[in-house]
């Protein structure tokens, strides 16, 4: 069984610091950032409590690959990514994510409800069956510290 994942970007109230992360449970992970569950983490030190960008991937491996791609990019590329999807820099947790559980539970109660998917993001390489079990070749060439998780945050076994 494969699990999906979200790549997300958090910032502070002034938009001066950006944090790129990946998780299998976006609502829970954003709440952890907001509540400073890990008080010595990067997001707690820099008061990163505003979700400004996220995208969903059907496989957690694709989400991790995408996270590494975004982290390897410049600040300008990250800002362009945010401005493309969220030009007003709204807190997407407040406007969308915190309602997911309520919507999901309502959908389960109604057997006629459609399958609800939020912000489904597919890269062109994700539709190619030959790449279904491995990341794209362009990312496979990236090695070393450039792809290492540089935020110092210790993650649990479930990838969040």
**49-69 pLDDT, tens per residue?**
999 999 999 999 999 999 999
Q: What is the CATH number of the domain that holds 66?
A: 3.40.1440
How many structural domains is the chain composed of? Answer: 1
What's the rounded mean pLDDT across residues 125-145? 41
> What pLDDT score does 40 carry?
93
Higher-pLDDT residue of 34 and 150 is 34
Q: Is residue 117 part of a domain?
A: no
Residue 127 has pLDDT above 60, yes or no: no
Q: Is the dihedral of CA 52, 56, 59, 65 positive or negative?
A: negative
One-character DSSP codes across 105-132: HHHHH-TTPPPP--SB---GGGG-GGGT
Find the helix or strand (DSSP H, E) in which 51 lies: strand 50-57
The answer to whether position 98 is within a domain reads: yes
pLDDT at 77 over 70: yes
pTM beyond 0.75: the answer is: no
Four-point Cα dihedral 10, 12, 18, 21, nearest 10: -30
């Amino acid at each position: 069984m494969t699990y999906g994942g979200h790549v997300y970007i958090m910032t502070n109230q002034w938009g001066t610091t950006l944090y790129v992360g990946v998780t299998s449970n976006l609502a829970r992970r954003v709440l952890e950032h907001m509540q400073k569950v890990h008080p010595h983490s990067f997001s707690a030190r820099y008061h990163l409590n505003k979700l400004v960008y996220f995208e969903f991937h059907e496989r957690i491996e694709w989400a991790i690959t995408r996270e590494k791609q975004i982290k390897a990019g410049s600040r300008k590329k990250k800002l362009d990514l945010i401005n493309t999807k969220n030009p007003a820099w709204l807190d997407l947790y407040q406007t969308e994510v915190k309602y997911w559980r309520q919507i999901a539970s309502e959908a389960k109660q109604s057997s006629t409800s459609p399958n609800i998917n939020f912000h489904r993001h597919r890269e062109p390489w994700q539709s190619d069956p030959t790449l279904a079990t491995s990341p794209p070749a362009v990312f496979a060439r990236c090695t070393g510290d450039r792809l290492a998780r540089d935020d110092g945050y210790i993650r649990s076994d479930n990838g969040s």
